[in-house]
Amino acid sequence: MLTLRQIEVIRAIMITGTIAGAAKLLNVSAPGISRLMKHTERSLRLKLFERRQGRYVPTPEAKDIFEQINGVYRKVDDLHSMLARIERGGDVEFKLGSVPSICHVMVPRAIERLRRKHPDLRIDINILKIEEALDYLLLGKGEIVAMSYKLDHPGLDFVPLAMGELLCIVPQHHPLAGYSSISAREIVQHQLIGIDPTDPYGRIMSEIFQRQGLQYEMAIKARFGTTVCSLVRAGLGIAIIDQFTVAHGSMQGIATIPIEEPTRFQTYVAMKNDKALSLYAETFVKLLREEMNAVVSPRLAEER
């Protein structure tokens, strides 16, 4: 039986027609090629080449062997082409979902890096409400969903992404804009724009006030953080929002203020637990985690 090394040497001699040429092609010594060729012919009890005018010419008996060897190399070339296509993401569509707070800034930054790694990859991004995420995954509409909290479900796994915290946002020229921090007691003294208390971030916000017995009223409520930011920018009040929505100065016209009370929360990636993630999903999760952890406060970074 021929070894892969013997096949490689036979093909190199076929291509170059000389021992020296085969040695150069394979970046080895000529005597080593010669010895291996002689050993191969003895093992097969078949003469593969005849030497004519200094060149090695295939014998008629070896014709079928050479055709098989070339077939092997064509398959190897096909394999290399397929691997290169996978690396570039050709003929593949990666489908993912995300809650709005993570999708606004963090997901695009991770996608940009993913596309640099796999430039031919097609990507389908769905912005989902939390209650939509279950069907999205369980019905196979996408591979993963970036979530603001985790659920208990026998068919899903939740992998931690990054820990974040809430911030107070005010119009850029608001009297509070220069504050280095703000307390819940100070927040309730101003017109408050908010998200529903049943929302994961809304729940954290309402608990801050409840723990201190503070009364608050939201004259305006909005479902998504980007809308809340626009309302604040329009001068309609101040708000509490997650740090990822306003990361990297993505919302012009507002100022962010750290909240003195603890407001930390954990984010996750959800996926079906009966199916392995694709290369692209695994890479995206890694990149998204890096992007999110890059904007956490030093205090939270120490807690990781």
Give me the average pLDDT of each 10-residue run along the chain (304 residues).
82 87 89 89 86 85 79 76 72 91 95 94 92 91 94 92 95 94 94 82 86 87 89 94 93 94 94 91 96 82 60
Tokens, residue 150:
């985790």
Architecture of domain 166-258: 3-Layer(aba) Sandwich (3.40)
* pLDDT of 302: 61
Structure-token pair, residue 251: 């919302």
Reply yes or no on domain 96-163+273-303 having CATH 3.40.190.10: yes
Query: What is the structure's pLDDT at 195?
Result: 78
What angle do the packed helices 19-26 and 30-44 form, to 10 degrees?
Answer: 110
Fold of 4-88: Arc Repressor Mutant, subunit A (1.10.10)
Q: Alpha-carbon distance 273 to 115, whole Å? A: 26
Contacts with 247 (C-beta within 8 Å, 6 or more apart), sequence order: 105, 106, 295
Strands 238-242 vs 166-171: parallel, antiparallel or unpaired = antiparallel
Beta partners for residue 124, in sequence order: 95
Neighbouring residues of 233: CB distance < 8 A, sequence distance ≥ 6? 171, 172, 251, 252, 253, 254
Tokens of 275: 């199916």
Which strand ranges, in their side-by-side order, compose the sheet holding 166-171?
Answer: 218-221, 192-194, 238-242, 166-171, 254-258
- Predicted TM-score (pTM) of the model is 0.75
Return the pLDDT at 99.
Answer: 94
289 vs 294: CA distance, rounded Å: 8
**Residue 231: CB partners within 8 Å, gap ≥ 6?**
193, 220, 222, 237, 239
Give me the residue spans of the domains in the chain: 4-88, 96-163+273-303, 166-258
